[in-house]
Structure 1
Amino acid sequence: MSRFFAFLLTFALISGSGLALAEDGYRMWLRYDPIENTSLRNDYRSQLRHLVVDSQSPTIDAAVKELRMGLGGLLDRELAERDNLARRGNLVIGTPESSELIASLDLEDRLAQVGPEGFILEETRINRRPATIVAAQSDVGVLYGVYHLLRLLQTGETIDGLNVSSAPKVQHRMVNHWDNLDRLVERGYAGLSLWDWGSLPNHRDPRYTDYARMNASLGINATVINNVNADPRILSDQFLEKVAVLADTFRPYGIKMYLSINFDSPRAFGDLDTADPLDPGVRQWWKDRAEKVYEYIPDFGGFLVKADSEGQPGPHGYGRTHADGANMLAEALEPFGGLVFWRAFVYDPEQEDRFREAYDEFMPLDGKFKDSVILQIKNGPIDFQPREPFSPLFGGLKDTNIMLELQVTQEYFGFSYHLAYQGPLFEEVLQADTYAKGEGSTVGRILGNEVFEYKHTGMAGVINPGTDRNWTGHPFVQSSWYVYGRMAWDYELTSEQIADEWMRMTFSHDRRFLDPVGEIMEISREAGVNYRNPLGLTHLYAQGHHYGPAPWYAEADRLDWTAAYYHRASETGIGFDRTETGSNAVEQYHEPVRELFADLDRVPEDFMLWFHHVDWDHEMESGRTLWEELVHKYYKGVEQVEAMQRKWDQVEGLIDQQRFEHVKALLEIQLRDAIRWRDSCVLYFSSVSGRPIPEQYPQPEHDLEHYKKLERTFYVPDPWHPASRSRALN
């Protein structure tokens, strides 16, 4: 027998045995493997035997394709399609306009309550025959309903007596990419950009469709595909032709295309010698350019703008305001129904306290922006730190449309090397009460338009997936993408609930897996805070790559790019005084939040050093001094990572070996880094305070100078990685 035929026989035997191929994480949470619970699978089979659909459209076709794939995989049986009702097992999808069967149910009032993107899932009877329906006002609502039905099956929920009505609580649910046109991704840790500009528009990579599927399954309805540090060429014919192909791919999945633009584009194109937003020629240039964009993409969503921030051009260069710049762009997009998302991430190097800058700059402009402008505000007042108080612009801006910007890509959380489920962070900010109109004025309710009367609100998540097969580098970064999308749809969902969904859909239903890994996810964010920036410390990172610790970093072109600017440690104490005796940033909050943050005896200890410069001997709730508590937190963070390792080891054999080994190796890296964060910080603060590390803790293996050298040698994980080479910040 030849080697070739021996190979074929071996392959046939392996295939016939049902041996699974290695799981590389590509399918993320849409795996659709057969449901292991035979009884549950048979119940689903009996209820979902036949698909009845009366209409066709690109979006309905996408929904049907997903049902075929999902039900075919989960139920291990091909889905039968019919043009009429069977005796049992009917699944009917559609809108009252596209389906006579849906129209016969008289759902108009109920569908009006869930709106154009909402849906109804229900077990009912049509023409006296049992049916499960996915009904909506629009085709995209049907698609979202299909994904929710599949989610119920994937997570093992019963669909007996199914009766679900669901609508998004937030209007614009967007993902942002920081992808450059050379395919390097700023703050992206999973390979090159997804968008292969060299092969577009000719080649439509199937991965573009899978990207759309993943987002649509969460109800995400918008994407910005390029970096906020924008290359003006994105608006050229060369690139618009390519972008149009991506827009065509995303459209059936309800995802609208937006682009980040460079405010200086009229000059960059060589057409004008100014970008002054009040110059008639500039205004006309943007109108003409907007018209060109819509020629390529008729349903184009609009522009995202980073202006007058970290070297990016903007209206301030011409003595104009943010409102002048944003309104000029809004005027250009207005004939087409486009929107302007204007980032509020600005800070002046001359400002006494970077914390204050965005509020001080935008509050005087409240009410001066056009209705088609939305201010995009980071969750905290600094920059995606592991823990920040909520930005006071939430609850401050009453007459200007707003949206929340969150970060999924782990710029300050260990890149793709550390496990740090972001659900608790997102939940923390969404549930934060601003007291803008009394108790209950949470950030989530403000975004849900339940507090003020905005024309538009939204959420943006910076996701930056790349060409890595598993999309995100670390398998658990997928969970943060997932929780972002689910909370953008419904900010009242808990991070714990969403983690359970994600684990079941991505890994296993086995409680021996769910319990320990659920505990890992629950503590992972707090562990990352503890071994980096406990008790309200912030921005202790090495400059540029933001990976390793450098609490000693005190000299730079700008002081607010140093660690010392934020921690202000001295022989007597540590922390940034933002009370009346300091920068008085607390005045930007409503009462009683203002009073709570300003009172050293009442401020939550998680935020203490955000708002107060505190004596090292200050007594904490634990009875320890501040110095002792700080050391305790750093050591606790390392202990939490060690606990995460032990819990992960428990699940070996319960999931595929490939992903088990990958996460196991990454947890080893995380422990190494956590120890170095701990030792670097406690040694440095010990040297400043003159206080020794208490004897009950293991002493650092090296001296402080050793860890200072690691800032320049060890902590850049990949010196060729764009995030390591780039000095630009987002």
Structure 2
Amino acid sequence: MAGTSLSPVMAPTAQAEDGYDLWLRYAQADAPRSAAISAHATAIVAPGTGPTLTIATQELQRAIAGMSGTTPALSATFQQGALLLATPASTPALPVTTDGLGSEGYAIRSTMIDGKAVTLIAANSDVGLLQGTYNWLRLAQSGESLDNLDIRSAPKIGLRLLNHWDNLNGTVERGYAGQSIWDWWRLPDWKGPRYADYARANASIGINGTVLNNVNAKADSLTASYIAKAAALADVFRPYGIKVYLSVKWTAPMELDGLKTADPLDPQVAAWWKAKADEIYKAIPDFGGFLVKANSEGQPGPQDYNRTHADGANMLAAAVKPHNGIVMWRAFVYAHDNPDDRAKQAYTDFKPLDGKFADNVIVQVKNGAIDFQPREPFHPLFGAMPKTPLMMEFQITKEYLGQSTHLTYLGPLFEETLDADTYARGKGSTVSKVIDGSLEGHKLTGIAGVANIGMDRDWSGSIFNQADWYAFGRLAWDTSLSADSIAKEWAEMTFSPDPKLVQPVVKMMMGSREAAVDYMTPLGLAHVMDTGHHYGPGPWVSDLARPEWNPVYYHKADANGIGFDRTKSGSDAVGQYAPPVAKLLASAKTTPENELLWFHHLPWDYRLKSGDTLWDGLIHHYDGGVRYVTDMQTTWASLKPYVDAERFAETEAFLTIQHREALWWRDASIAYFQSVSKRPLPAGSAAPAHDLDWYKALKFPYAPGHN
């Protein structure tokens, strides 16, 4: 099954599982489920043969054949038990309304047509029919009942994108699943089957766009030869409802055509970008637009010319507007010459620009104000720019959460952020309402995830890392879904609907991210990873050129205590939140303990709610994180009878790595903080296996994902 390409329309053959088929395995169902699937798909009736509709019908045939052993025929007439795909244009007398479904939504209903019981998948477009097809197949794979269906679903967020940090030389920045899947060298002529498989996987979870190249962009991406390569990928993705976008380098006009400046208010610069946009849209008529990283981490931008981010974004927006294109302008900015708290800099730069961006600009904001940490408070820009559309940026690839080998399911992190209350318009002003436009009435809405996809056969570096890609897509489509229900869906489709497997796997997944927080960054600590590659602990690092590159900048541990004071007595970052949130965070007593040291520098003897001192509580969190990984190993070992040998062995090995590295995190962190605090360990906690110098001496010059 997993050894076959996803693209061909055929019943999967029994082969070793290697993860290639992701959650679209369509494994043979048990007898009752097989019979139910066959009974509800005796034939497929579809309203045409366009490329998207052909994909939908072939997907149904392949899936039903795999699960039931019977391939339903395409039919022009209704019969009992048929699957009917229809739009108002193809079937004017639809028994369901498609009003409110937009261009991507769908309705699924068990109904009677011409006296025959059928399952109707209805939508306003072929892309909507494809989305409805994947929902029906999700039910079939998960063992849900296919009787009495009455489902309506449409995405609240318009742009649901993957951001690929893929470089033109084939490497992937913060990629832990092998080389880039884009073979730029052989494009545009060779379009291998993996591209269609990639599009199919994304379409199955509602993703409708992909940014092909790294935000740390090269100007070459905008040359004619690379535009042709991007156009070839766009041709593959288009039938799946997926648009392509490009990251751009601000100084491209200077690098490619010798302009003397990249000043956004210079007419020659604006003319260059307009001509470049015209060139791209001639090759890719449905090109989505540009993603921009500017004036951040050394990247050039409009501030180099004493212009604002709005000046830069609006100039690009004017270039793509005649083609209905958009500009996604990243708010991830911090400067080496800015002495202010790094957590404050994006807000300081962007808040004054609220309402000054063009109507086809959306500001892309990371979930937290630092950098994709295991836990961060929600970014203060959410809720602070009511006149500007904001889009979420999550990191699916796990730069700071165990990279490819740690089982740390990100669904709870995504859900935690989306459900966070900004109080921008009173209680209930959640981050999800900011980004879906409902809080302020914005029509341009978006969410992006930095992809964890590479050339590894399993796409994501491990089987369980696939769940993060899946969870991002499902939440991007419907932010009201729970991380728990998504984990259940994923486990049912990826392994089996058998509750003896699903229940322990979901329980294991749901606590895994919190466990990583405990063994890496408990109680609100952040950015204590070793620098550069961000692999493993390095809370002692203090010798890098820029203050905010050093972990000691973030924890400020000394003999008296630990934590970053972001109250009025410190950087006053709490003042960037709405007053009810700021009031809560101003006091250590009312700050959630899982964010305590993010906002407060506290003495080692500070009493936690548990009654522990802060020092003892830290140690207990480190211990608890390691203990959870031990428990995951035990749980996984008990599931051996229910999992194929290949994927069982890989996960078993990766959990062994995770346990070893969780211990390393625990021991190295305790060794360092004990050297500062001079405190004894609480009773029952083991001393680190080595002294501090041993941990400091560890070097990893070839760690993956760092260019």
Q: Distance in 2 between matches of 1:641 and 1:445?
A: 35
Distance apart, 1:691 and its partner CA: 0.7
Q: Distance in 2 between matches of 1:125 and 1:509?
A: 29
Matching residue within 180, 183, 189 for 1:193: 180
Contact residue 157 and residue 436 of structure 2 kept, 8 A: yes
1:363 corresponds to: 351
Provide the secondary structure at the position in 2 that maps to 1:530.
Answer: helix
1:23 aligns with 2:12: no
1:105 aligns with 2:94: yes
Distance apart, 1:106 and its partner CA: 5.2
2:48 corresponds to: 55
Code of the aligned partner of 1:490? D
Alignment map for 1:691-730 (pairs within 5 Å): 691-710=679-698, 712=699, 715=700, 718-719=702-703, 721=704, 723-724=705-706, 726=707
Contact residue 179 and residue 226 of structure 1 kept, 8 A: yes
Q: Distance in 2 between matches of 1:76 and 1:362?
A: 57
Distance apart, 1:351 and its partner CA: 3.0
Distance apart, 1:127 and its partner CA: 2.0
Contact residue 390 and residue 429 of structure 1 kept, 8 A: yes
Contact residue 351 and residue 357 of structure 1 kept, 8 A: no
Code of the aligned partner of 1:608? L
1:451 corresponds to: 439
1:492 corresponds to: 480
1:551 aligns with 2:539: yes
Contact residue 179 and residue 464 of structure 1 kept, 8 A: no
Deviation per residue, 1:362-391 (Å, 9 max, x gap): 000000000100000000010000000000
Distance apart, 1:514 and its partner CA: 1.4
Distance apart, 1:73 and its partner CA: 1.1
Q: Distance in 2 between matches of 1:262 and 1:363?
A: 24
Provide the secondary structure at the position in 2 that maps to 1:609.
Answer: helix
Matching residue within 68, 89, 93 for 2:81: 89
1:476 corresponds to: 464
Q: Distance in 1 between matches of 2:452 and 2:271?
A: 33
2:8 corresponds to: none
1:341 corresponds to: 328
Deviation per residue, 1:266-311 (Å, 9 max, x gap): 0110331111100000000000000000111011000000000001
State the identity as a percent.
50
Matching residue within 284, 302, 308 for 2:295: 308
Q: Distance in 2 between matches of 1:562 and 1:281?
A: 41
Contact residue 434 and residue 443 of structure 1 kept, 8 A: yes
1:252 corresponds to: 239
1:521 aligns with 2:504: no
Code of the aligned partner of 1:227? N
Q: Distance in 1 between matches of 2:437 and 2:187?
A: 39
Q: Distance in 1 between matches of 2:452 and 2:166?
A: 7
Extract unaligned runs of 5+ from structure 1. 1-17
Q: Distance in 2 between matches of 1:317 and 1:225?
A: 26
1:162 corresponds to: 149
Provide the secondary structure at the position in 1 that maps to 2:469.
Answer: helix
1:420 aligns with 2:413: no
Code of the aligned partner of 2:358? K
Q: Distance in 2 between matches of 1:187 and 1:66?
A: 33
Deviation per residue, 1:191-221 (Å, 9 max, x gap): 1100111211111110000000000001111
Alignment map for 1:221-260 (pairs within 5 Å): 221-260=208-247
Provide the secondary structure at the position in 2 that maps to 1:312.
Answer: coil
1:295 aligns with 2:288: no
Q: Distance in 2 between matches of 1:681 and 1:674?
A: 11
1:598 corresponds to: 586
Provide the secondary structure at the position in 2 that maps to 1:342.
Answer: strand
Q: Distance in 2 between matches of 1:64 and 1:47?
A: 15
Deviation per residue, 1:303-354 (Å, 9 max, x gap): 0000000011100111100000000000000110000000000012223200
Alignment map for 1:502-517 (pairs within 5 Å): 502-517=490-505
Provide the secondary structure at the position in 2 that maps to 1:259.
Answer: strand
Deviation per residue, 1:385-441 (Å, 9 max, x gap): 000000011111100111000011010011101111000000000000111111111
1:9 corresponds to: none
1:206 corresponds to: 193
1:43 corresponds to: 36
2:646 corresponds to: 658
Matching residue within 260, 271, 293 for 1:273: 260
Code of the aligned partner of 2:220? R
Residues 371, 705 of structure 1: CA spacing in aligned structure 2 closer, same or farther, 3 A cutoff?
same
Contact residue 295 and residue 335 of structure 2 kept, 8 A: no
Deviation per residue, 1:606-644 (Å, 9 max, x gap): 000010000100111110100000111111111111111
1:629 corresponds to: 617
Code of the aligned partner of 1:40? R
Matching residue within 358, 363, 366 for 1:375: 363
The two structures have a TM-score, normalised by structure 2, of 0.97
1:182 aligns with 2:166: no
Extract unaligned runs of 5+ from structure 2. 1-11
Code of the aligned partner of 1:95? T
Distance apart, 1:222 and its partner CA: 0.7
1:65 corresponds to: 58
Code of the aligned partner of 1:312? Q
Code of the aligned partner of 1:171? G
1:124 aligns with 2:111: yes
Q: Distance in 2 between matches of 1:517 and 1:191?
A: 26
Q: Distance in 2 between matches of 1:61 and 1:276?
A: 47
Provide the secondary structure at the position in 2 that maps to 1:197.
Answer: coil
Residues 195, 619 of structure 1: CA spacing in aligned structure 2 closer, same or farther, 3 A cutoff?
same
Q: Distance in 2 between matches of 1:559 and 1:151?
A: 49
Distance apart, 1:683 and its partner CA: 1.1
Distance apart, 1:464 and its partner CA: 3.3
Contact residue 452 and residue 469 of structure 2 kept, 8 A: no
Contact residue 371 and residue 455 of structure 1 kept, 8 A: no
Q: Root-mean-square deviation (CA), in Å?
A: 1.2
Deviates more, 1:113-122 or 1:492-501: 113-122
Code of the aligned partner of 1:392? P
Q: Distance in 2 between matches of 1:603 and 1:333?
A: 44
How many residue pairs match? The answer is 695
Alignment map for 1:323-342 (pairs within 5 Å): 323-342=310-329
Q: Extract structure 1 runs of 4+ deviating beyond 6 A.
A: none
Provide the secondary structure at the position in 1 that maps to 2:520.
Answer: coil
Q: Distance in 2 between matches of 1:664 and 1:215?
A: 28
Q: Distance in 1 between matches of 2:446 and 2:257?
A: 35
Contact residue 55 and residue 94 of structure 1 kept, 8 A: no
Deviates more, 1:67-76 or 1:424-433: 67-76
Provide the secondary structure at the position in 2 that maps to 1:328.
Answer: helix
1:76 corresponds to: 69
1:540 aligns with 2:528: yes
